[in-house]
Amino acid sequence: MKKQRTYKQKEPELMEVNESRAVYYGSQSFDDAGIFGLMDIAQRGISFGIFDNLAKKFPFSMQNWADFLHISGKTLSRYQKEDKSFDTLQSEKILQINMLYKRGEEVFGSSDDFLIWLQTENVALGKTKPQDLLGSVFGISLLMDELTRIEHGILA
């Protein structure tokens, strides 16, 4: 009778690494994070510094951002002053807007053209400016869908 061999797989060692959020997030694009990475980033909260780098890509005022994130302008100013991190829901919204920005750049070929589209009244969206939909998860999803239609040449 042949003796059966059993193999024990080594458990992976877990290491705790202390690193700054800026390094953890790498470039502000979060491209390499994957969906679970994005969920983890949102759970931990995005610091105001990381948010500020993203916000600079857009022509929006801090009050616009406060409206998108459903917080007061005063609260946003406090986050800036204290370099406070956003809560999970606000962080998710920031990440979704960042993903929309990246998608818009891909579809339009430049950030400038995407930002013009974002600020221009759109017939396909019920004569709404796309930027007016950034305060809602459903609105951001609608904009992603619209970018896909534009990419495929389905205009209106």
User: What's the pLDDT band for 6 if we cut at 50, 70, 90?
Assistant: low
Residue 85 covered by a domain: yes
Type of residue found at 107? V
Give the burial class of 6: count Cβ atoms within 10 A of its Cβ; 0-12 exposed, 13-18 middle, 19 or more buried.
exposed
In a domain, 9, yes or no: no
Q: What is the pLDDT of residue 25?
A: 42
- Say if 12 falls within a structural domain: no
Asked whether residue 8 is domain-assigned, the answer is no
Question: Does 135 fall in a domain?
Answer: yes
Q: What is the pLDDT of residues 10-34, one digit of tens each?
A: 444 444 443 333 333 444 446 667 8
Q: Please give the residue range of the domain that contains residue 76.
A: 21-151
Mean pLDDT value across residues 93-121:
97
Please name the residues in contact with 64: beta carbons below 8 A apart, sequence gap of 6 or more: 131
Q: How many domains does the chain have?
A: 1
Quote the pTM value.
Answer: 0.77
Question: Between the CA of residue 91 and those of 37, 44, 47, 74, 106, what are the distances in Å?
Answer: 13, 9, 9, 18, 23
